[in-house]
A and B are shown apart, each in its own frame.
Chain A
């Protein structure tokens, strides 16, 4: 096995491992958020949670596989590690951006849901009796 193949395999192992870990974190901790958003409707929360994680996997693994190609030859272990570090770094940044994007979606959904039952923004100036039409 030459150094290039080792670099590729290491790259795949690290990035796929990281993707699974981030997706798992998202899945585990996002659930509580979603249950709250959907007013305790757990089956619906689980379903939305699962769909979000599937999208997360698709985008990240898609990016990992697109970014696999190096485009130049490496011959020493030093070059291999440097190339690996650049690749893993970009994948980490994409994962991070995706993760924050997911958090943003969660918080927005939650805000929307709590907004529905929120009280008026100001106190009334006065009170008057209301005569309902008969």
Chain B
């Protein structure tokens, strides 16, 4: 089975919650999670701009294809048995702008959302 590597932000409560949810989902593609800006991440992707990964979710395929932000979230949906059809629906030209806006909004305010929802440490 191919693998997608997720570079996620462990300091945000929302991300940790999503991380736990992802672990339980049946998958079509294996998901491997690495916390951002760690030695493991830098060793695996020596040429990647690791400063950028703290801004939004980054997903990288086995072949080194980098998906950033909204595209990364679509790739995560694509990896899940139950949501693969949703990844195509949200990626259609009609819905992609909305998807981008919503995902960017959530990513930008992820610390506030975590705090309000009581998910921060």
**Number of A-B pairs, beta carbon distance below 8 Å:** 61
Interface status of A93 (Cβ within 8 A of chain B): no
A133: which of B44, B60, B63, B85 is its contact (CB, 8 Å)?
B44
Prevailing SS type, chain B contact patch: mixed
Interface-side segment among A4-12, A51-59, A70-78, A122-130: A122-130
Question: B65 near A124 (CB under 8 angstroms)?
Answer: yes
State which size class the interface on B falls in: 20 to 34
Q: With the chains together, A132 CA to B60 CA distance in Å? A: 13
State which size class the interface on A falls in: 10 to 19
Interface status of A118 (Cβ within 8 A of chain B): yes
Question: B44 near A122 (CB under 8 angstroms)?
Answer: no
A residues 42-63 near B (Cβ < 8 Å) are: none
Interface centre among B65, B74, B77 (most CB of A within 10 A): B65
Question: B66 near A121 (CB under 8 angstroms)?
Answer: no
Q: With the chains together, A129 CA to B64 CA distance in Å? A: 6
User: With a CB–CB cut-off of 8 A, which chain B residues contact A122?
Assistant: 67, 71, 74-75, 91
Question: A121 near B87 (CB under 8 angstroms)?
Answer: yes
What is the distance, in angstroms, from B82's C-beta to the closest C-beta of chain A?
A: 11
Interface centre among A116, A124, A126, A133 (most CB of B within 10 A): A124
Question: B71 near A125 (CB under 8 angstroms)?
Answer: yes
Question: A128 near B74 (CB under 8 angstroms)?
Answer: no
B residues 49-83 near A (Cβ < 8 Å) are: 60-68, 71, 74-75, 77-78
A131: which of B43, B61, B74, B75 is its contact (CB, 8 Å)?
B43
A128: which of B28, B64, B84, B88 is its contact (CB, 8 Å)?
B64
- The residues of A with any CB-CB pair to B shorter than 8 Å are 111, 115-116, 118, 120-122, 124-133
Q: List 25 A-B contacts (CB under 8 A).
A: A111-B85, A115-B28, A115-B84, A115-B85, A116-B28, A121-B74, A121-B78, A121-B87, A121-B90, A121-B91, A122-B71, A122-B91, A124-B61, A125-B67, A127-B64, A127-B65, A127-B66, A128-B45, A130-B45, A130-B60, A130-B64, A131-B44, A131-B46, A132-B44, A133-B44
CB-CB nearest 4 A-B residue pairs: A124-B65, A121-B91, A126-B66, A121-B87
- The residues of B with any CB-CB pair to A shorter than 8 Å are 28, 43-48, 60-68, 71, 74-75, 77-78, 84-85, 87-88, 90-91
